[in-house]
Amino acid sequence: MRVGVLNTWLADRYLPFWEAYLRHLEVEVVRPQLPSIPVSIVEQVIAEASSLKVQGVDFLLLPDIQLGVEPTRGSPSPWMVSLEASLRQAIPGLPPAIVVPAELSEGVAGLAASVGQTLTRNPMTARRALERTRSLLTSEYKAPPQPSTHLVGVVAQPFVLEALALKELALGLEAQGLHLFRADKSPQELRLEGDKLQLGLELPTDLEAAGMHRYLARLGKVRGILYLHDAEVAPLPNPLRKLVSRGGPNKPWVLAGSSGPWEGVIANLTAQLHV
- Please check whether residue 6 is in contact with residue 63, taking contact to mean a CB–CB distance below 8 angstroms: yes
Mean pLDDT in each 10-residue stretch from start to end of the chain (275 residues)?
96 97 98 82 94 98 97 89 97 97 97 97 96 94 92 97 89 96 97 97 98 97 97 95 92 93 95 89
Q: What are phi and psi for residue 60, nearest 5 degrees?
A: -110, 135
- Please check whether residue 138 is in contact with residue 206, taking contact to mean a CB–CB distance below 8 angstroms: no
Using CA atoms, how far apart are residues 70 and 165, in angstroms rounded to an integer?
A: 29
Q: What are phi and psi for residue 230, nearest 5 degrees?
A: -115, 105
DSSP letters along 102-126, please? SS--GGGHHHHHHHHHHHHS-HHHH
Longest dimension (CA), the chain: 64
What is the pLDDT at residue 124? 96
What is the pLDDT at residue 259? 86
- CA 188-222-192 angle, 5° bins: 20
Using CA atoms, how far apart are residues 229 and 238, in angstroms rounded to an integer?
A: 10
What is the pLDDT at residue 36? 74
What is the pLDDT at residue 75? 81
pTM of the model: 0.95
What is the pLDDT at residue 229? 96
Sheet holding 59-64, edge to edge: 28-30, 2-5, 59-64, 97-101
